[in-house]
Homo-oligomer: A and B are copies of this chain.
Amino acid sequence: MRDFSQDHRWLSLNTATVRKQGDLAAIIEACARHGIRAIDPWRDQVAAIGLDRAVRLVKDAGLELSGYCRGGMFTADDAHRSAVRDDNRRAVDEAAALGASCVVLVVGGLPQYSRPGSAPSKDIVAARAQVHDALADLLDYARQAKMPLAIEPLHPAYAADRACVNTTKQALDLCDALDPSRSGALGVALDVYHIWWDPELLPQIARAGKDRLMAFHVCDWLVPTKDLLNDRGMMGDGVIDIRSVRAAVEAQGFAGYSEIEIFSDAWWNQPMDEVLATCIERHRSVV
């Protein structure tokens, strides 16, 4: 297991962590000030400053991209299906332009939440079948663009509105079904927040292996959690044994970035430099 206590070489910043404090240009400047060498930007943040400018800023700063957030939201009714496909293909193109290591996929929950305007449904089994089919289609496109896709299983609390892929096993079952040869085109993005509770976590990480482990995200689960979406904790402030999960991932050969992604009204209200300084300190002491 790598020693993170001496530096933050392997810290990546998911830019949603400071999305309220500044635009992507400001975040990239802040990363330079703090010696942060990798980011994972969100599409809306890229769009807000323009893709070309984002590409230039990333390149000029010498940043690596540990992922690009996000593709997916595959579940939709028929009327929205082609928009879903086009939207996801654009995500792949943007990720390629930015030089991202993968596109992170949040697959969508029930169609009315995934793609607003879609006909309401309570059929989560049908939603899961849709994810399979739409992902198969996108995978063809992504292979040609040489852009790996990383399915992010989301905590079951988001099954209705964000992702009906809720366990590492489920994500890996999709990988095995759509990429049985383990070509490197499809894998998983594991966020400790979503998976820490899973009784099958360790065997499923072992099953994933190095070639399926495309991204590793950290934050913490607070008790109590006051808001299901925007009350995630800074590493060390909650109940997740983060280091044991990182140990399991690295035991498989994962040697990439430990990406900090914190959706938090509390941290969004702090100055960007203070958030980043805390991230660095916790990366060294807790992650």
Contacts and interface: CB of A to CB of B under 8 A. Distances in A.
Contacts of A113: 223
- Ranked 5 nearest A-B pairs via Cβ: A159-B197, A122-B241, A156-B197, A160-B239, A157-B157
Contact of A224 (B128, B161, B164, B170): B161
Interface string A220-260: 01011100100000000011110000000000000000000
Given A124-B196, A156-B197, 8 more contacts: A113-B223, A122-B239, A156-B156, A159-B196, A166-B197, A166-B199, A169-B199, A170-B199
Given A122-B239, A228-B228, A157 B155 contact: yes
A198 interface: yes
Interface in A106-137: 110, 113, 122-124, 128
Given A122-B241, A228-B228, A239-B122, A161 B223 contact: yes
A223 B239 CA distance: 25
Interface in A148-173: 155-157, 159-161, 164, 166-167, 169-170
Which of A122, A196, A221 has its CB near the most chain B CB atoms (within 10 A)? Answer: A122
A117 to B, nearest CB: 15
A241 B125 CA distance: 10
**Chain A interface: which size bin?**
20 to 34
Nearest to A123: B241
A203 to B, nearest CB: 12
A124 B156 contact: no
Given A122-B240, A122-B241, A156 B198 contact: yes
A230 to B, nearest CB: 11
Interface in A39-57: none
Contacts of A197: 124, 156, 159-160, 164, 166
A86 B35 CA distance: 56
A226 to B, nearest CB: 8
15 contacts: A110-B239, A122-B239, A124-B241, A155-B156, A156-B156, A156-B157, A160-B197, A160-B221, A161-B224, A166-B198, A166-B199, A167-B199, A170-B199, A225-B228, A228-B228
A75 B122 CA distance: 35
A228 B224 contact: yes
A113 B164 CA distance: 29
A221 B159 CA distance: 10
A251 to B, nearest CB: 16
Interface string A190-224: 00000011110000000000000000000001011
B225 A157 contact: yes
Contacts of A196: 124, 159
